[in-house]
Chain A
Amino acid sequence: MTLGRRTLIASGAAAGAVTSLPRLARAQAANTIRIGVLTDMSGMYRDNTGPTSVACTQQAVAEFGNRGFNIEVIQADHQNKPDVGSNIARQWYDQGVDLILDVPTSSVGLAVNQIAREKGKAYINVGSATADLTGPACAPTTIHWAYDTWMLAKSNGGAMVKAGGDTWFFITADYAFGHALERDTMNFVRASGGRVLGAVRTPFPGTTDFSSFLLQAQSSGAKVIGLANAGSDTQNCVKQAAEFGLTRRGIRLASLLLFINDVHGMGLRTAQGLTCTETFYWDLNDRTRAFTRRVLPRTPNNYPNMIHAGCYSATLHFLKAVADMGVAQAKASGLELVNRMKAMPTEDDAFGTGRIRPDGRRIIPSFLFEVKKPEESRGPWDYLKLVQTTPAEEAFRPLAEGGCPLVRS
């Protein structure tokens, strides 16, 4: 076969075009930071995490602006199933996602924690509660951002025992989160001189009727029923406890994890008087109100809670660290990226100033709130009043007590 000059030139040009296209795409990818929000888009935690977590992440990206690299936010629904979550996490990291964010539901949160460690990629968990993420399961690539079971237990449990609720019965969601919250709260109750009279583990998800568990709790004679569950489980418990006259008989409900979105779902008439512990409330101060005003157009029907605000603040901090290190280095090592994040103080409108400990725990103050009576509420989503503040250094489990292998060495 003889090749003409023209054919040769044409084919050379074509070959050049073919090879330069992926090179261009690769150059683009090398300069793009990808954040994957892995969350519950369709289940019972959707309003507590879900689309509003994505909206807050996007808000942070928009506020961060253009600093010489592209930022891409992708999202997926883990359906509260550890196997589904693990598959997506593995796929994302393999496809060059630089950070996995949010991951509510402790069982899924722990599964993704393992994968991030294996792959050496950055992982900021905001949505899961289990304190094991910075305890026995702690990983050098993981940061636990907004709250955990220990901090909830300390604030709620301590306050309840002090108020005279010294005998407890637990209604616990039967998975990693419920177990951790129950364990941590029991420790606080016992440490403050209270007694635990019993506990019942309820199947998760799929329990809608809690009346028989509530009745068991009542017959135990406990003064306080600790609800170691969340979302619609907590709502159903509160609703049904009122229905069966438990609250009228003087039994107190300790909603150990309650979000403002749950209060919205129950209505103030049902929820009034309950307490909850948060690290963020939209109406806490001028900065939180300013943040909420900015983000609300992206999520008009669902106000941000501490998880949503956490996604915002975590994204900002992550992007600051990337800008600080340079994109190439940030993409090369998730571990170094996380170490850089730990070395920098956190600062944003939603939480003010904070820091990240070596075990991955972010340290911020926690606030105990009481749900307002209907007549006290002055406007939409005006639901909580501040009862007590725990300073940052006391809010979370001390570093030495968590059993995190990173700390011992």
Chain B
Amino acid sequence: MDEIFGIPAPLLFGQLLLGLINGAFYAMLSLGLAVIFGLLNIVNMTHGALFMMGAFAAWMLLNYLGLGYWWAMLIAPLAIGAFGMVLEKLFISRLYKLDHLYGLLLTFGLALVIEGVFRNYYGSSGLPYRIPSELQGAWDLGFMFMPVYRGWVVVAALFFCLATWLVIEKTRLGAYLRAATENAPLVQAFGVNVPRMVTLTYGGGVALAALAGVLAAPIYSVNPQMGTNLIIVVFAVVVIGGMGSILGSVITGFTLGLIEGLTKVFWPEASATVIFVIMAIVLLARPAGLFGRA
């Protein structure tokens, strides 16, 4: 069997592929964070809780209303996005003029409250959610057994990342959004309703988190702390990519997924830490992040 650095080649390829799959989750979550930070200047610590709500929404739709995975892909982002907009209107909109720290504290508090409520009603040991029948099974790639569902996750994540990037960079709406972040009063003077646009943007970012939650429901345990485990890593991804850089967060998400995957082979104990080591190095060398503007 061929070996690369003492590791059998098939195993290494498998790990790279898995890294890419995890990277897809990082990319989708960090994309939402980057959009929200870029346009609202809010460090959205609630993101993990909203991701968790997306997964729970999928479970609730199935168990209370009998609506399956594909309906959840549609309804969960809309419902959780709407919930996000309510949060923005009620709480977050009051903080735009204050320091980032206030937004961070508020959203962190909201995350704790949301998780606490879910823990109270659903406990911590998780809820079962099955892979939809269309996406069950696996391909034998020779070097590994590739579940169809994981492939779907990568494809879906790439699609949504690309779509978000296109909307923000290539459409008129995206141009308004970017202009509003540079100079809100001026954009408002042109007749654009900036507060509404900001609310919608927050809702959009939240919807992305919820979508990632639906994608995660069949493969991870659906439990109230599932967001907490991911969110810290995702923040590191956003910081490495450059706060507010959309393309940066997507590329960094996938790359760090790969690096983490390799660490799991060569030094498993460090796999939870490696991303933060990279973050520290990047912050020392390029404080604005790899793709950020200083």
**Chain A contact residues, CB within 8 Å of chain B:** 42-48, 50, 174, 200-203, 205-209, 211-213, 215-216, 219, 231-232, 235-236, 239-240, 243-246, 249, 261-262, 264-267, 269-270, 301-302
CA distance A174 to B127 in the complex (A): 25
Residues of A near B149 (CB, < 8 A) are 243
Decide: A219 near B10, CB < 8 A? Known: A206-B272, A212-B18, A269-B128.
yes
Residue from the list A47, A212, A267 in contact with B128, Cβ < 8 A: A267
Q: B272 and A209: CB pair below 8 A? A: no
Interface positions of B from 188 to 245, Cβ below 8 Å from A: 219-221, 223, 225-226, 229-230, 232
CA distance A124 to B131 in the complex (A): 42
Residue from the list B21, B22, B119, B219 in contact with A42, Cβ < 8 A: B119
Decide: A262 near B131, CB < 8 A? Known: A208-B230, A211-B18, A212-B265.
no
**Chain B contact residues, CB within 8 Å of chain A:** 8, 10-11, 14-15, 18-19, 21-22, 116, 119, 123-128, 130-131, 138, 144-145, 147, 149-150, 219-221, 223, 225-226, 229-230, 232, 261, 264-265, 268-269, 271-273
Residue from the list A44, A208, A215, A249 in contact with B124, Cβ < 8 A: A44
Residues of A near B229 (CB, < 8 A) are 205-208
7 contacts between A and B (CB under 8 A): A47-B123, A203-B268, A208-B220, A208-B229, A212-B14, A232-B225, A265-B221
Q: B264 and A43: CB pair below 8 A? A: no
A122 nearest CB across to chain B (Å)? 28
Q: A48 and B18: CB pair below 8 A? A: no
Residues of A near B14 (CB, < 8 A) are 212, 215, 219
New A-B contacts (12) at CB < 8 Å, excluding given A47-B123, A236-B221, A246-B145: A202-B271, A206-B232, A206-B272, A211-B150, A212-B265, A215-B15, A219-B10, A219-B14, A235-B126, A243-B138, A243-B147, A265-B223
A172 nearest in chain B by CB position: B268
Decide: A302 near B269, CB < 8 A? Known: A215-B15, A235-B221, A239-B221.
no
Q: A266 and B220: CB pair below 8 A? A: no
Residues of A near B271 (CB, < 8 A) are 202-203, 207
Q: B18 and A209: CB pair below 8 A? A: yes
A371 nearest CB across to chain B (Å)? 13
CA distance A401 to B18 in the complex (A): 43
B59 nearest CB across to chain A (Å)? 11
B139 nearest CB across to chain A (Å)? 10
CA distance A215 to B7 in the complex (A): 12
CA distance A261 to B261 in the complex (A): 30
Residues of B near A42 (CB, < 8 A) are 116, 119, 124, 225
